[in-house]
């Protein structure tokens, strides 16, 4: 959330920092520490709660082993059974991580996203067992270790949730680029979290983790600039993908409301884009000296209807860009 709002503030520039009725970002920016504080500081959630507590409750064997131990002699048979299941889980996780790491680049492209998440899930499972073997019940106190495992888990959660959303929506072709970008992003960061974990384990353990989970080294890369550009075009134009992404967002229907004005300016900019391109091309060709709209109209570069659409779009754009301004007497009272 912090990254999204900070990026939005960068894009808006002065519009984002000048407080006033039409600034729809500043109050969100100010409220960020409130929205991310759940159980104490946000760092507490990352360092202790996500994995420190989650490992005990979500592990397929740990809780059963502890309960069996607490039963004394009556729980010996159950403990032996659970321990055997635990050992099998470790071996299967390690084997899956190693085999999927070896064959990842040879797998069918249609299954690439699911295979990627499966490989990293197996890598996380094996890494968890390795860490538990080393630190045991000290996992909560080894906060950076717990945090890195929690980071990997979070990125895998986001990746698998995206795949599920894509599948549930009927695998739309126009969302495949988005899926590719999301999987690239989350796979890369999950991989980096596990590598950082390996680099901070005892030498032998770190070596084993890397060789088992990533036999060829770092195989997941961040999305390319080309893919970034393609994704940007999907949301900078009124595409069905963009409409699905903003579905559920409330847009006011009254002129003067910030989101209404912003959406109106976007639609008008799209409508007038072709006419504005004509003017730019005419300037490059030397037909007109600059981007003056009246000169373009006089030179028949655009017709009157196109010129009007450009004027309306410029007015809407300037209305959105302008910051709030107040007379001295309005501001002297204190808060606006």
Unique residue bearing structure tokens 């770190």 = 206
Residues 6+ apart with CB under 8 A from 264: 255, 316
d(CA 288, CA 310): 17
d(CA 183, CA 116): 8
CA 274 – CA 286 distance, rounded (Å) = 19
CB atoms within 10 A of CB 173: 7
Query: Comparing C-alpha atoms, which of 158, 119, 118, 145 is closest to residue 55?
Result: 145
Torsion of CA 109, 110, 115, 117, to 10 degrees: 110
Tokens of 190: 């999950």
Catalytic residue among 39, 243, 305, 330: 39
Three-class DSSP category at 105: helix
Does 39 participate in catalysis according to the annotation? yes
Q: What is the dihedral of CA 92, 97, 98, 102, to 10 degrees?
A: 140
Please give the DSSP secondary-structure letter assigned to residue 175: G
Q: Count CB neighbours of 84 within 10 A.
A: 11
> Which residues are known catalytic residues?
39
């Amino acid at each position: 959330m912090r990254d999204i709002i900070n990026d939005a503030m960068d894009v808006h520039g002065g519009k984002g920092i000048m407080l006033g009725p039409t600034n729809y970002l500043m109050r969100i920016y100010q409220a960020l520490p409130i929205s991310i504080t759940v159980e104490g500081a946000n760092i507490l959630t990352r360092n202790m709660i996500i994995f420190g507590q989650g490992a005990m409750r979500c592990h397929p064997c740990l809780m059963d082993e502890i309960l069996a131990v607490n039963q004394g002699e009556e729980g010996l048979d159950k403990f032996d059974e659970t321990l055997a299941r635990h050992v099998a889980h470790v071996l299967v996780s390690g084997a899956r991580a190693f085999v999927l790491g070896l064959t990842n680049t040879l797998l069918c492209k249609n299954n690439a996203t699911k295979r990627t998440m499966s490989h990293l899930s197996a890598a996380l499972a094996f890494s968890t067992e390795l860490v538990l073997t080393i630190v045991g019940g000290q996992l909560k106190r080894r906060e950076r270790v717990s945090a890195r495992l929690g980071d990997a888990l979070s990125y895998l959660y986001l990746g698998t949730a995206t795949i599920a959303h894509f599948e549930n929506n009927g695998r739309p072709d126009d969302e495949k680029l988005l899926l590719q970008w999301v999987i690239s992003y989350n796979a890369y960061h999950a991989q980096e979290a596990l590598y950082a974990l390996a680099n901070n384990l005892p030498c032998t353990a770190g070596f084993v983790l890397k060789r088992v989970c990533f036999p060829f080294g770092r195989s997941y890369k961040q999305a390319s600039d080309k893919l970034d550009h393609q994704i940007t075009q999907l949301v900078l134009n009124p595409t069905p993908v963009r409409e699905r992404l903003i579905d559920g967002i409330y847009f006011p229907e009254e002129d003067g409301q910030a989101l209404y004005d912003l959406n109106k300016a976007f639609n008008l900019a799209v409508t007038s884009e072709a006419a504005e391109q004509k003017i730019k091309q005419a300037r490059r060709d030397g037909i007109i000296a600059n981007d003056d709209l009246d000169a373009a109209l006089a030179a028949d570069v655009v017709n009157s209807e196109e010129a009007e659409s450009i004027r309306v779009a410029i007015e809407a754009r300037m209305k959105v860009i302008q910051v709030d301004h107040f007379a001295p007497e309005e501001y002297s009272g204190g808060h606006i």
